[in-house]
Copies of this chain bind each other. A is one copy, B any other.
């Protein structure tokens, strides 16, 4: 069985300008790996409507799941919801269910639900809302696209809330071993094992500790017995 595939689209000028270091991609990568969903691609794009629309259309065709992060707040540069609606040719307007959630949230916190905040109730027709336990304003699911907030704490809460609804695959087993040799010395053994176990992913990541080079070798795959076999073989040949 092949695992479901996914992409994440991080939307926001602030990542591309270097102001902010993205955290959502890394968080989602870990969560999906555990769920047996293959994150195949991540893209960071600017707050540019044409770009957002075309990237969403492309990835929603290519992948089982597409996750977006950013651009669903109350300000003028928050254009993600409208772009997603356009990408799927759906009408979009302030929706009563979303407005009610915002009204409840702002009533509780004693803040006015003004025109700007009402923008966050703009949800495409047919989309399912994603709960936001942190700051009220919901995300949404349209087709296979999961539209979530950019603020990491809210993004993480939304991921947690949609996760049970995703169809996961076989979670990959991952084991690692540190070899105190340079990558160039262990490469032949890695190549040999990669050829012998074509279904496993064998990666090596060089490090330097106390002036000495080493490699962290990570073996990943659905078959834990094979993974263990490769780790044992690495230890036998290289430690």
Is the beta-carbon distance between B74 and A184 smaller than 8 angstroms?
yes
User: How many chain copies?
Assistant: 2
| A107 CB, nearest partner CB in chain B, Å | 14
Asked if A44 is at the interface (CB within 8 A of a chain B CB), the reply is yes
Is the beta-carbon distance between A206 and B73 smaller than 8 angstroms?
yes
Is the beta-carbon distance between B218 and A187 smaller than 8 angstroms?
no
**Quick one: closest B residue to A190, CB to CB?**
B75
Is the beta-carbon distance between B46 and A30 smaller than 8 angstroms?
no
Asked if A220 is at the interface (CB within 8 A of a chain B CB), the reply is yes
Is the beta-carbon distance between B14 and A42 smaller than 8 angstroms?
no
Give the size category of A's interface with B. 35 or more
| A19 CB, nearest partner CB in chain B, Å | 6
Residue of A25, A28, A218 ringed by the most chain B CB atoms within 10 A = A25
Asked if A205 is at the interface (CB within 8 A of a chain B CB), the reply is yes
**Quick one: closest B residue to A26, CB to CB?**
B21
Within the assembled complex, what's the spacing in Å between the Cα atoms of A135 and B183? 12
